[in-house]
Amino acid sequence: MTQGPVQNERAPVIEPGYTLGSVTDKISSIVLTRPTSNAWFVGFGVAFLLLMMLLFAIAYLFVKGIGIWGVNAPIGWGFAIVNFVWWIGIGHAGTLISAILLLLRQSWRNSINRFAEAMTLFAVASAGIFPLIHVGRPWLAYWLFPYPNTMRVWPQFRSPLVWDVFAVSTYATLSALFWFIGLIPDLATLRDRSEERWKKIIYGMLAMGWRGSARHWHRYETAYLLLAGLATPLVLSVHTVVSFDFAVGIVPGWHTTIFPPYFVAGAIYSGFAMVLMLAIPIRKVYNLEDFITERHLQNAAKVMLATGLIVAYGYVIEAFMGWYGGNRYDAFLLWNRLHGPYSFFYYMLLACNIVIPQVLWIPKLRSSPVWLFLVSGVVLVGMWLERFIIVVVSLHRDFLTSSWGMYYPTRWDWMTYIGTIGLFLSAMFLFVRLLPMISIFEMRTLLPEAEVKE
């Protein structure tokens, strides 16, 4: 889409008064010269402790088996799958920002794409743990891959669970590549600006000999655009496959055709909420308000509003069809959500995902960091609850009354879940400290002096 020449009424993407040099100084100094604050150590310390808790919980799981979790006979997919879907959904915003918005020439993305991609990578890492430890014998997880073997074991290619293995591993690979290739020119900047020799060596190796020649830039641009093109379908396909995991089953609450677009919208919804939850404190702590401006917050809020409404559409149409379709099991599912033992969580879900986020219609709140931070937190809770409702409430009372049951997460479930938040945050803390969290060279292209005269 071509940008119109008239942009006067919008907030700027980068505050005025910066030059090519000062942008570089400002971003690279966070990594190179700024002393590590005590707050960083405290934050990283807490996150690291949570990560240690995750390792402990997983180690104990390997010793004892998944009996330590709350999963049982009707509810075979407990927290592990809830958390997997939640994390993988969060990752989607990063890919949307870095790939789709790049192809749509939305240059405002330049100041948030780097850490959004990092967020994707760490979210996918957190997500990937769950299916692996959920299989019960994780040391045999490689059986999921179709490799030639003498056991006559071959994956069931008609199952979306197998597609998921490919979808998620492709996603992880491509996200890592995309992120790293985008980092190369900035790594070279850090190499050139480091004072200490060991930093020069490390950043130098990571920069892979980047000299910034015209040929380098030409190849870089080609590669980056190509990767963006490859990453774009992944924004849709990964969560579509995740939704197929549920939808091809005939369980009421899972088997519904709206699931693919509804899952994708929900993923982007929660992902942008996470982007805001990270961006708002980061821009405050590192004084980056000039780079991550009100405009970014507003745009992210608008994306949240739009995707949230698609999610709401999903709820409306699902509830309507449950009533209209005349299938007694679908009707019972609706009743069970509204009046069953987990009804509190369903109402919470409606409040968190549909009702509360509507405050984003108010332009004033869309540009208030405090409000956005709070609403984003609410949305993240809501989207977690959505997956909980889909997984647990659908399974706990299915067709046969005699096989009904209840699901109660154990402390190990909680330790694993909170532990992955620790993993995610530890990685984020390290990333913010060791790498340029905003793309230096892409920011420079936003400056007035970088504009090409036609």
Taking the complex as a whole, the smallest distance from the CB of residue 7 to other proteins amounts, in Å, to 9
Centre a 10 Å sphere on the Cβ of residue 316 and count the other Cβ atoms it contains.
12
d(CA 255, CA 249): 6
| Binding flag, residue 175, other proteins (CB under 8 A) | no
Instruction: Give the list of residues 6+ apart from residue 167 with CB closer than 8 angstroms, or none.
Output: 234, 237, 238, 241, 242
**Scanning residues 309 to 328, which ones bind other proteins (CB under 8 A)?**
309, 313-314, 316-318, 321, 324-327
Q: Does 3 bind other proteins (CB under 8 A)?
A: yes
A 10 A CB-CB count for 263 gives 30
First to last CA, the chain: 19
Task: Confirm or reject binding of residue 5 to other proteins (CB under 8 A).
Answer: yes
Among 75, 171, 82, smallest CA distance to 398 is for 75
What CA–CA distance (Å, rounded) separates 435 from 101? Answer: 23
Task: Write the binding mask 258 to 297 for other proteins: x where contact by CB under 8 A, - elsewhere.
Answer: xxxx------------------------------------
| Closer residue to other proteins, CB minimum distance, 74 or 261 | 261
Question: Which lies closer to other proteins via its Cβ, residue 136 or residue 363?
Answer: 363
Smaller CB separation from other proteins, 187 or 303: 303
Of the candidate spans 20-28, 245-253, 345-353, 384-392, the one that interacts with other proteins by CB under 8 A turns out to be: 245-253
Q: How far is the CB of 262 from other proteins (least distance, A)?
A: 8
The residue (of 47 and 393) whose beta carbon lies closer to other proteins is 393
Q: What is the largest CA-CA distance in the chain?
A: 74
Cα–Cα distance list, 138 to 77, 142, 154, 244, 371 (Å):
16, 8, 17, 23, 42
28 neighbors 425 (Cβ within 8 angstroms): no
Q: Which is nearer to other proteins, 205 or 316 (CB)?
A: 316
Residue 249 touching other proteins (CB under 8 A): yes
Per the CB < 8 A criterion, the answer to whether 85 and 387 are in contact is yes
CB 78 within 8 A of CB 70: yes
- What residue type is assigned to position 238 of the chain? V
In whole angstroms, how close is the CB of 27 to other proteins at the nearest point? 30
Q: How far is the CB of 234 from other proteins (least distance, A)?
A: 14
If the CB atoms of residues 162 and 248 are measured against other proteins, the closer one turns out to be 248
> In terms of residues, how long is the chain?
454
d(CA 112, CA 89): 18
Site string for other proteins, 213-242 (x = CB under 8 A): -----------------------x---x--
Q: Please list, in sequence order, all residues whose beta carbon lies within 8 angstroms of the beta carbon of residue 17, skipping any fewer than 6 positions away.
A: none
CB of 164 to other proteins, least distance (A): 14
Stretch 354-383: interaction string toward other proteins, x if CB under 8 A: -------x----------------------
Close Cβ partners of 299 (under 8 Å, ≥ 6 residues apart): 108
Task: For other proteins, give the closer residue by CB, 321 or 365.
Answer: 321
Q: Under the rule (CB under 8 A), what is the footprint of other proteins? A: 1-6, 158, 236, 240, 244, 247-250, 255-261, 309, 313-314, 316-318, 321, 324-327, 361, 454
